[in-house]
């Protein structure tokens, strides 16, 4: 782009040359002035080096000498530049760097001399020119060419450390270089001024500059605002002179100029926005206005300093307004087509409003909209959620929804359904996590602010500031979002559109949002069906991280939903995976969890921070933990009681077991404080069959107030606790009883006859309890088939023997190559069986592999992505239970079954 | 009892003509007012060509001899169209009616087409006309004609999509003519096409499966071997998925088939899980009965549901098929169902009890004492039940059947011994073989 300036024509370059010559003259002849200047420098900059008067003279002369050397090197460079000799330029550059070191040492200051910085600026510009000028590059000799490339890299590396200074010197060279004031003024105009003004067009520019300097002197380097006003004045003057004179051409030329400056160092980002905004007002045709508006928005995006920061909020709002204006134009002039596939004709925008036939304008609405959404998201990530600012920011959401809605409508109208689906997804992602109450609040807010007072004012002010624009665009598209009564309806509309015409990723994300939303509204079966039918569990590992997070969120929400509707096992299945790694926060992107064993690189940390969910979208972690632990308790306590002889066998929730062990190891248990303590206290009560106490402890958790239908959930929970208490009681004490009467049980656990009967019957049928009913007396009669300790040990012995036999077989087979034995069949069994008894020899192995596969960043998320144990309720009958039964159906002993089951369960979970 | 009537849910998945038998049945059972049914029939007929029939119904509905003008007009139109189609298809029809000419057709489709074109000047247009004509015949209610023509058409047609719809038409015609054996063949043929990988879109496939299952109800509950086959078809994963996602009401028929069919135990367990899962999306007394017996073990509830099931079966057009025997009619399926259901309850009940009061038991089974005792004695005699009756106490006592711990231990150890011996033998063999080499 820089070439535009440099290659304007022969006369310009001549001018340039004379400039440089002037400088050389000055530099060469004016030693005296340089020396004088140098002293001024020293006084200003290196005051700390003035130790004593006597030394001062010596030092000064040394300094002067260094500066002289440097100046002469600069001259050499200038000469080299003139003849385009990169080889000598490179040499000089190395030289000057060495000299710089000396100078720095001599002056003992950390401030780099301006001379050097100026030289760098000069070099950089020249380099840019040389690179841009391809023809000249071709003509270069090979050594010259090589030197050019080497120079390019060196300069880039070198300039990085002085970046700030260079920028400063580019922005306002005059403020720092008073000594070159006179000669430099013209050059100044050429360099920085060229972006805005053609010197020939504005004769009064020198006055302007003086004024500007004054301002700059006052405000120092942060003076862009004032400068901006100056420049605006300039613009105004330029165009105000006589509006009738302004033609499409002038505007277009100006526009091109401004655009050419984009991204160049020294171009103020805000200024550019201002200039472009001004241009929109003087645009001659709607198409031109549109084109410029697109650039305005791009420029507004440029304002954002980096990836981690967010766009200033006022700029964001203006951006949104601009989008709306764009839509106004597009709706008003249906013959204008926005397209980013083909580079449109140079003069396409010249065609006026009355032109019939399509006018193509370059731009991409969807990309802009997505960017706006991202910026909104980022701003919410950055703002402290506990401040008023955050709430204020949240109020801007309807603004975005308006734009999104309008863009979507526009796209649907022109038949671009694929893009419309993308936009719809953005809308879905703003709505899906909102419970009905929040949704209603947003609707109300939208209606209130939708009256458009604030928005209207803003646009009006803007319009009024400049001269009234040539192309007036009435507000055609509505400035008010329309929402259906409930969020489900909105979701349905959007999601249907996406399913019909979205691409794979859009569809998957929409599906996850849909699942989340269903789960939020307690529709477990629908959410489950969607989850299973979409097969998202199977291929979520192959998706991007943000989608995986969404998947984890949906999973967590489904788990909560299952719990609320009383499906404890399903709920546990959904949540246990999340908690298995102990990094829920990370999986849900709700905060950074510290891991003792695994230090994160700053890079990873930054990435992770960028993924965080804004606070208002969080799933309450305490509630989640409570739900997870309570479901684990309800499943695990009777399970432990049933397998009391060998506790290690058949673990449902490892996390829960570990916590329980920890709490049992404590010598003194205080009153429960956090969620974990509460559940542990409840577990202790439940183990003894004391359902009332267990329930009371759990009831005292204050996370329950987060539930909408708190009463009914607690009611359900109480019933479940009673049931499990009954089961636990029976398991624990069945060996002590010969018969237990039904009436006694009903009284003990405050359950109805039918309930107890049904529960006990279930246990009998599943052979969890070796007993049977005696109907006439309404008693449970226990059969004495529980193994005694001796018998149990005997079983364990046989089991171990069989392992021994197997390993023998394997050894023999390895030796003699498995001939006559019927090994193939048995070997298959072995594989099912061996790891389970070998103390889980397979476990660490597996997880290690997984860790390696995923790579460092991915592991965290692939954890949540694995298919969940929902397989039990799944239609996909190949996973989960059924596979488990397949593995060991051939075995006869019940003991062996159990061990085999553990393995298969693990495999079921692992997928 | 109209609450459990599935006609409104089934009808959308059937052909218009197939709905008639259902309506006839409902009319007979008097579940709905006659008027409503007659109106529904006219609605149905409006889009078919059976105008005469519609006129009759209209007359009986409004008790007049006048017929609305539009019906008369339509009749004229239909007749005219019939003539036109007949003319168009005439060359091919005459060809097909000539037995000696038909002899010339061979298995090779391409050859046939060429031959027809060369010798009889019958091209694709005529063949297409045959299809239209057959379709029209079907709509007029002339099913046998339609079935014949469609059969011929399929032999000649090259368009796979057309061929498929001809097959559907054939199936419908055969069902309406109650040729169950042929219909079953067509059904299997259709199923193969649907299950083939080349079938258009998955969505389309699911929809076709659902139609197929609905249509097959006619066949399975009339064919002798249908009750096994319905399980074979419906219980396939793909079909079961389709049922669960789009037509859970079909679970009723599958459940009934499972109850009536005793030899399907392994699949039955899986099916219970499905029922448990889908309780929220579909429920009727039959599935609830299964849930009571196998999920919740509520025997009182099961007994209540059993009574309701009886009603449901009687009022279901497929399940409640009547057989006339002399001067009174019975519903064979109902008796079979009740017998089996009773057995189900009893079986489960016995498994968890060691002593049962017979009076309570018979109450649960809807039996009187004498009858019940005989029933149980029969069960014991056929060694279906390991139990004894204690008349003094009026109880049945189950024999415990717990495996002995020692036996189990010995079993394990024995297997080990065998394996070790084998291993040693193997080693020795190897050792002997080595020096020889």
How confident is the model over A131-163, as pLDDT tens digits? Answer: 777 666 666 777 777 777 777 777 777 777 777
Q: Are A773 and B430 in contact (CB < 8 Å)?
A: no
Q: What is the pLDDT of residue A597?
A: 64
Torsion of CA A334, A335, A336, A341, to 10 degrees: 110
Q: How far is B356 from chain A (nearest CA, A)?
A: 5
Q: What's the average model confidence in pLDDT over A299-306?
A: 73
Inter-chain Cβ pairs, chain A and chain B, closer than 8 A: 104
pLDDT attached to residue A176: 43
For residue A881, give how far its alpha carbon lies from the nearest alpha carbon of chain B (Å). Answer: 11
Do residues A637 and A686 touch, judged by C-beta distance below 8 A?
Answer: yes
CA distance A616 to chain B (A): 33
A802 vs B270: CB contact, 8 Å cut-off? no
B427 touches A: beta carbon within 8 Å: yes
CA distances from A766 to A650, A763, A798, B351 (A): 16, 5, 25, 11
Of the pLDDT bands very low, low, confident and very high (cuts 50, 70, 90), residue A516 is very high
Judge whether A256 is closer than 8 Å to chain B, CB to CB. no
Please tell me the distance from the alpha carbon of residue B280 to that of residue A527, in angstroms, as a whole number. Answer: 13
* Per-residue tens of pLDDT for chain B, all 437 residues: 567 888 888 888 888 888 888 888 888 887 788 888 888 888 888 777 777 788 888 887 777 777 778 788 888 888 888 888 888 888 777 777 777 777 777 777 777 777 777 777 777 777 888 888 888 888 888 888 888 888 888 877 777 778 888 888 888 888 888 888 888 888 888 888 888 876 677 788 888 889 989 999 888 888 877 888 888 888 888 888 888 888 888 888 888 888 888 766 678 888 888 888 888 778 888 888 888 888 888 888 888 888 888 888 888 888 877 776 666 667 778 888 888 888 888 888 887 888 888 888 887 777 788 888 888 888 888 777 778 888 888 888 887 666 677 888 888 788 888 888 888 888 888 888 776 65
Closest-CA residue of A relative to B280 is A525
Instruction: Indicate yes or no: CB of B355 within 8 angstroms of CB of A776.
Output: yes
- What torsion do the CA atoms of B330, B336, B341, B344 make, to the nearest 10 degrees? 160
Biggest alpha carbon distance in chain A?
126
> Which residues neighbour A500 within 8 Å (Cβ) at sequence distance 6 or greater?
A417, A421
pLDDT for res A890 = 31
Alpha carbon distance A880, A212 (integer Å): 75
Q: Between chains, do B354 and A529 touch, taking CB under 8 Å as contact?
A: no
Query: What is the distance between the alpha carbons of residues A517 and A432, in angstroms, rounded to a whole number?
Result: 5
Q: Which residues of chain A have a CB within 8 Å of the CB of B354?
A: 772-774, 781
Inter-CA distances, A455 with A318, A449, A460, A478, Å: 10, 9, 9, 12
User: What's residue B297's pLDDT?
Assistant: 84
Residues contacting residue A807 through CB under 8 Å, at least 6 positions apart: none
Question: How many Cα atoms are found within 13 Å in the side-chain-facing hemisphere of A353?
Answer: 15
Residue B409 with chain A: CB contacts under 8 Å: 791, 794-795, 798
Q: Say if CB A377 and CB A614 are below 8 A apart.
A: yes
CB A588 within 8 A of CB A883: no
Using a CB-CB cut-off of 8 Å, the residues of chain A touching B350 are none
The CA distance from B393 to the nearest CA of chain A, in Å, is 10
Whether residues A877 and B413 touch (CB distance < 8 A) is answered with: no
If one counts every other C-beta atom within 10 angstroms of the C-beta of residue A456, the result is 12
Asked whether the predicted pLDDT for residue A861 surpasses 70, the reply is no
Q: Does A765 touch chain B (CB under 8 A)?
A: yes
Distance CA A858, CA A584 (A): 15
Contact (CB, 8 A) for B349 and B341: no
The token pair that represents A88 in the structure block: 């000598």
Most A-contacting residue of B389, B398, B425, B426 (CB-CB within 10 A), to test interface? B426
- Amino acid B153: pLDDT: 84
**d(C-alpha A584, C-alpha A588), whole Å:** 6
Query: B353-357 and A771-774 as β-strands: parallel, antiparallel, unpaired?
Result: parallel
Q: For residues B310 and B338, is the Cβ–Cβ distance under 8 A?
A: yes
Distance (Å, rounded) from C-alpha A185 to C-alpha A173?
9
Tokens 């766009």 sit at which residue? A311
Choose between A815 and A637: higher pLDDT: A637
Contact B416 A798 (CB under 8 A): yes
Among candidates B280, B398, B409 on the partner chain, residue whose Cβ is nearest the Cβ of A794: B409
Give the separation between CA B342 and CA B327, rounded to whole angstroms. 28
Within an 8 Å CB–CB cutoff, is residue B398 touching chain A?
yes
| Residue closest to A481 by CA, chosen among A451, A459, A517, A436 | A451
What pairing do the DSSP bridges indicate for beta strands A359-362 and A336-339? parallel
CA distance B10 to B215: 10
CB A530 within 8 A of CB A551: no
Question: Which pLDDT value is given to residue A315?
Answer: 84
Q: Once rounded to an integer, what is the mean pLDDT over residues A180-200?
A: 40
Q: Does B245 touch chain A (CB under 8 A)?
A: yes
B323 reaches A (C-beta below 8 A): no
CA distance B40 to B408: 67
Q: Give pLDDT, residue B313.
A: 86
Chain B residue whose CA is closest to A804: B416
Q: pLDDT band for position A873 (50/70/90)?
A: very low
What is the DSSP code (8-state) at residue B295? Answer: I
* ipTM confidence score: 0.74
Q: What residues have CB less than 8 Å from B191, skipping those under 6 apart?
A: B212, B233
Residues of A in contact with B426 (CB under 8 A): 812, 816, 819-821
Pairing between strand B328-330 and B323-325?
antiparallel
Q: Is B298 helix (H, G, I), strand (E, B) or coil?
A: coil
Q: Which long-range contacts (CB under 8 A, 24 or more apart) does A730-733 make?
A: A730/A760, A730/A763, A730/A769, A730/A780, A731/A638, A731/A641, A731/A642, A731/A644, A731/A768, A731/A769, A732/A641, A732/A644, A732/A687, A732/A689
Query: Best mutation site among B271, B355, B364, B406 for testing chain A: the one with the most A CBs within 10 Å?
Result: B355
> Which residues of chain B make contact with A808, given a CB cutoff of 8 A?
420, 423
Alpha carbons A723 and A750: distance in angstroms, whole number = 10
For residue B114, the tally of other CB atoms under 10 A from its CB is 11
* pTM greater than the 0.80 cutoff: no
Mutate to test the interface with A, among B419, B420, B433, B434 (most CBs of A within 10 A): B419
Q: Name the 3-class secondary structure at A478.
A: coil
Would you state the structure tokens that stand for residue A6, as one six-digit string? 């440099």
List the structure tokens of A257: 């100029």
**Tokens encoding B162:** 């057309």
| Alpha carbon separation from B202 to A125, B160, B199, B206, B244 (Å, rounded) | 62, 18, 8, 6, 16
The pLDDT mean for chain A works out to 70
In this prediction, residue A510 carries a pLDDT of 92
CB–CB of A893 and B412 under 8 A?
yes
| Interface membership of B297 toward A (CB under 8 Å) | yes
CA distance A642 to A654: 17
DSSP A601: P
Partner A contacted by B352 (CB < 8 A) = yes
**From CA A46, how far away is CA A897, in angstroms rounded?**
86
pLDDT on residue A596:
59
Q: What pLDDT was estimated at residue B324? A: 67
User: What pLDDT score was predicted for residue A187?
Assistant: 41
Q: Give the span between the Cα atoms of A272 and A215, in whole angstroms.
A: 20
If you measure CA to CA, which chain B residue comes closest to A794?
B409
pLDDT in tens, A690-716: 889 999 999 988 888 888 888 899 999
Distance CA B212, CA B206 (A): 10
Whether residue A774 lies within 8 A of chain B, CB to CB, comes out as yes
Q: Please indicate whether, in this complex, the C-beta atoms of A819 and B405 are within 8 angstroms of each other.
A: no
Q: DSSP of A793-837, one letter per residue?
A: HHHHHHHHHHHHHHHHHHHHHHHHTS-SS-HHHHHHHHHHHHHHH
Q: Which of A62, A76, A66, A75 is nearest to A100 (CA)?
A: A66
Locate B332 and state its tokens.
Answer: 């064979």
* C-alpha distance from A758 to closest chain B C-alpha (Å): 5
pLDDT in tens, A593-625: 666 566 677 787 778 777 888 888 888 888 999
Q: Cβ separation of A772 and B412 shorter than 8 Å?
A: no
Beta bridge partners of A772: A781
Cβ separation of B352 and A770 shorter than 8 Å? no
Using the Cβ of A414 and the Cβ atoms of chain B, whether some distance falls under 8 Å is answered with no
């Amino acid at each position: 782009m820089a070439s535009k300036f440099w290659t304007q024509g022969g006369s310009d370059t001549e001018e340039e040359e004379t400039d440089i010559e002037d400088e050389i003259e000055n530099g060469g002849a004016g030693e005296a002035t340089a020396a004088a200047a140098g002293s001024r420098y020293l006084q200003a900059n290196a005051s700390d080096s003035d130790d004593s008067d006597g030394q001062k003279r010596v030092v000064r002369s040394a300094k002067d000498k260094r500066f002289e050397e440097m100046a002469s090197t600069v001259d050499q460079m200038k000469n080299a530049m003139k003849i385009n000799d990169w080889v000598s330029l490179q040499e000089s550059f190395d030289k000057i760097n060495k000299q710089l070191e000396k100078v720095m040492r001599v002056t003992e200051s950390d401030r780099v001399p301006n001379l050097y910085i100026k030289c760098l600026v000069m070099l950089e510009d020249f380099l840019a020119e040389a690179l841009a000028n391809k023809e000249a590059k071709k003509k270069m000799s090979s050594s010259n060419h090589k030197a050019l490339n080497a120079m390019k890299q060196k300069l880039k590396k070198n300039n990085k450390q002085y970046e700030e200074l260079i920028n400063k010197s580019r922005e306002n060279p005059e403020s720092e270089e008073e000594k070159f004031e006179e000669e430099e003024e013209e050059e100044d105009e050429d360099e920085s001024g060229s972006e805005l003004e053609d010197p020939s067009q504005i004769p009064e520019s020198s006055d302007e500059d003086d004024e500007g300097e004054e301002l700059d002197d006052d405000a120092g380097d942060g003076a862009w605002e004032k400068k901006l006003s100056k420049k605006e004045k300039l613009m105004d003057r330029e165009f105000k002179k006589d509006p009738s004179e302004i033609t499409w051409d002038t505007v277009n030329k100006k526009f091109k100029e401004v655009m050419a400056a984009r991204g160049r160092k020294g171009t103020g980002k805000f200024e550019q926005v201002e200039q472009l905004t001004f241009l929109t007002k003087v645009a001659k045709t709607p198409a031109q206005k549109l084109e410029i508006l697109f650039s305005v928005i791009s420029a507004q995006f440029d304002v954002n300093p980096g990836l981690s920061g967010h766009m200033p909020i006022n700029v964001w709002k203006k951006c949104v307004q601009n989008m709306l204006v764009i839509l106004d134009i597009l709706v008003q002039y249906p013959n204008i087509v926005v397209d980013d596939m083909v580079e449109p004709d140079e003069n396409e925008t010249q065609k006026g409003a009355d032109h019939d036939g399509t006018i193509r304008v370059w731009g991409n609405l969807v990309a802009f909209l997505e960017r706006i959404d991202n910026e909104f998201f980022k701003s919410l990530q950055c703002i402290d959620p506990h401040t008023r600012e955050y709430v204020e920011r949240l109020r801007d959401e309807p603004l975005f929804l308006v734009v999104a809605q309008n863009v979507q409508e526009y796209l649907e109208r022109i038949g671009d359904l694929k893009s419309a689906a993308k936009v719809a997804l953005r809308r879905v992602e703003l709505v899906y996590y909102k419970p009905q109450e929040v949704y209603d609040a947003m609707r109300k807010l939208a209606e209130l602010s939708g009256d458009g007072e604030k928005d209207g004012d803003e646009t009006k002010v803007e319009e009024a500031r400049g001269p009234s624009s040539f192309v007036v665009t009435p507000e055609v598209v509505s400035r008010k979002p329309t929402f259906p009564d409930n969020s489900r309806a909105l979701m349905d509309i959007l999601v249907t559109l996406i399913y019909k015409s979205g691409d794979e990723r859009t569809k998957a994300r929409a599906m996850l949002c849909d699942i989340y939303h269903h789960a939020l509204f307690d529709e477990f079966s629908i959410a489950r069906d969607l989850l299973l039918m979409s097969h998202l569990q199977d291929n979520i590992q192959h998706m991007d991280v943000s989608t995986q997070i969404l998947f984890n969120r949906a999973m967590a929400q489904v788990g909560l939903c299952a719990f609320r509707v009383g499906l404890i096992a399903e709920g546990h299945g959904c949540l246990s995976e999340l908690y298995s790694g102990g990094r829920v926060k990370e999986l849900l992107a709700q905060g950074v969890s510290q891991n003792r064993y695994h230090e994160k690189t700053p890079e990873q940390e930054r990435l992770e921070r960028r993924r965080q969910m804004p606070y208002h979208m969080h799933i309450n972690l305490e509630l989640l933990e409570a739900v997870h632990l309570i479901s684990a308790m309800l499943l695990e306590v009777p399970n432990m009681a049933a397998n009391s002889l060998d506790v290690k066998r058949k673990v449902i929730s490892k996390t829960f077991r570990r916590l329980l062990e920890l709490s049992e190891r404590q010598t003194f248990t205080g009153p429960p404080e956090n969620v974990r303590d509460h559940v542990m206290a409840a577990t202790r009560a439940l183990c003894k069959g004391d359902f009332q106490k267990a329930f009371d402890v759990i009831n005292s958790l204050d996370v329950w107030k987060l539930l909408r239908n708190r009463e009914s959930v607690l009611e359900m929970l109480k019933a479940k606790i009673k049931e499990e208490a009954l089961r636990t009681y029976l398991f624990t004490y069945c060996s002590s009883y010969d018969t237990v009467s039904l009436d006694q049980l009903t009284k003990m656990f405050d359950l109805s006859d039918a309930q107890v009967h049904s529960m006990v019957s279930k246990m009998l049928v599943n052979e969890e309890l070796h007993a049977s009913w005696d109907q006439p007396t309404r008693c449970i009669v226990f059969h004495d088939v529980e193994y005694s300790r001796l018998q149990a040990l005997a079983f364990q012995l046989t089991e171990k023997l069989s392992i021994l036999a197997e390993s023998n077989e394997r050894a023999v087979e390895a030796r003699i190559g498995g001939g006559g034995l019927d090994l193939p069949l048995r070997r298959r069994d072995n594989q099912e069986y061996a790891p389970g008894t070998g103390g889980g020899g397979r476990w660490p192995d597996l997880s290690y592999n997984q860790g390696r596969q995923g790579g460092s960043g991915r592991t965290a998320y692939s954890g949540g992505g694995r298919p969940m144990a929902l397989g039990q309720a799944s239609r996909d009958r190949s996973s989960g239970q059924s596979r488990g039964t397949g593995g060991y159906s051939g075995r006869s002993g019940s003991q062996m079954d159990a061990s085999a089951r553990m393995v298969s369960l693990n495999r079921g979970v692992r997928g | 009892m109209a609450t459990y009537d599935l006609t409104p849910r089934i009808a959308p998945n059937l052909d218009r003509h197939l709905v008639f038998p259902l309506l006839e049945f409902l009319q007979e059972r008097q579940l709905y007012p006659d008027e409503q049914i007659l109106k529904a029939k006219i609605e149905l007929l409006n889009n078919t060509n059976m105008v005469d029939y519609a006129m009759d119904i209209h007359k009986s509905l409004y008790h007049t001899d006048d017929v609305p003008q539009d019906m008369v007009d339509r009749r004229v139109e239909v007749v005219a169209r019939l003539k036109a189609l007949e003319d168009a298809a005439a060359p091919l029809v005459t060809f097909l009616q000539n037995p000696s000419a038909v002899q010339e057709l061979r298995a090779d489709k391409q050859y046939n087409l060429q031959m027809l074109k060369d010798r009889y000047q019958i091209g694709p247009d005529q063949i297409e006309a045959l299809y239209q004509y057959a379709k029209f015949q079907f709509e007029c209610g002339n099913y046998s004609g339609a079935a014949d023509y469609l059969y011929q058409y399929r032999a000649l047609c090259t368009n796979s999509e057309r061929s498929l719809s001809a097959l559907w038409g054939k199936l419908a015609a055969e069902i309406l003519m109650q040729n169950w054996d042929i219909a079953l063949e067509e059904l299997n043929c259709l199923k193969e096409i649907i299950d083939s990988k080349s079938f258009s879109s998955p969505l389309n496939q699911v929809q076709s499966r659902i139609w197929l299952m609905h249509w097959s109800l006619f066949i399975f509950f009339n064919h002798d071997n249908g009750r096994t086959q319905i399980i074979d078809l419906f219980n396939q994963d793909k079909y079961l998925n389709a049922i669960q996602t789009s037509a859970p009401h079909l679970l009723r028929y599958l459940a009934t088939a499972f109850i009536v069919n005793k030899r399907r135990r392994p699949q039955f367990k899986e099916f219970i899980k499905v029922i448990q899962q889908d309780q929220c999306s579909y429920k009727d007394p039959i599935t609830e009965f299964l849930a009571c017996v196998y999920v919740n073990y509520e025997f009182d509830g099961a007994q209540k549901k059993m009574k309701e099931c009886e009603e449901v079966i009687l009022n279901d057009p497929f399940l409640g098929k009547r057989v006339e025997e002399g001067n009174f009619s019975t519903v064979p399926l109902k008796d079979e169902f009740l017998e089996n259901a009773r057995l189900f309850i009893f079986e489960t009940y016995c498994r968890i009890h060691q002593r049962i009061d017979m009076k309570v038991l018979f109450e649960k089974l809807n039996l009187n004492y004498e009858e019940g005792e005989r029933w149980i004695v029969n069960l014991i005699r056929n060694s279906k039940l390991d139990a004894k009756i204690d008349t003094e106490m009026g109880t049945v006592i189950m024999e415990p059947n717990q495996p002995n711990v020692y036996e189990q231990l010995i079993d394990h150890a024995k297997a080990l011994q065998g394996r070790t011996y084998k291993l040693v033998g193997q080693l020795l063999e190897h050792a002997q073989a080595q020096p020889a080499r």
